[in-house]
Amino acid sequence: MKSIQVLVDKLPVNGYHDICKYYNENRSDGSQSICRAGVCEGGFEISLSKDELKSKTQYRLDPNDMVRQLRWSNGWLLNMGYMGLTEEQTKLLFEALKSVLGSVNVVYKEYVDNSKWWNKSNASK
């Protein structure tokens, strides 16, 4: 599945607000709204629907299991091992990011983890 890469270092003032507003105004009827993720990395989250919650066990100890989320990691929005956004949700978030940041500053492509290469090339120095 493709991921979102953002090519700017910082979101503009009101960036999260404007991105979420675009997403929520353009989401399909009956779908869940998006908001800023309440995690230290930052990112975006969408609460699970009632039907999705029914499929979860009765013991919900981890709040991360109650949402779909993408977190920031080196300019990428990734699920970080948690339940990520659906492809439809990810595409709409991509459109929202392009709307706020400009189409040249956002890419939708396969995730490439350059940290292994970077760490290996710097270890020999």
Task: Kindly state the average pLDDT of the residues 4-21.
Answer: 96
Whether 73 has a pLDDT exceeding 80, the answer reads: yes
Query: 49, 30 in Cβ contact below 8 A?
Result: no
The separation between the first and the last C-alpha atoms of the chain, rounded to the nearest angstrom, is 35
Lowest average pLDDT, out of 16-25, 59-68, 98-107, 116-125, goes to 116-125
Q: Is the confidence at residue 60, as pLDDT, over 90? A: no
Task: Please give the mean pLDDT across all residues of the chain.
Answer: 88
Supply 62's token pair.
């981890």
With H, G, I as helix, E, B as strand and everything else as coil, classify residue 30: coil
Question: What is the residue whose two structure tokens read 């991105």?
Answer: 19
What is residue 64's predicted lDDT score, i.e. its pLDDT?
Answer: 85
pLDDT tier for residue 61 given thresholds of 50, 70 and 90? low
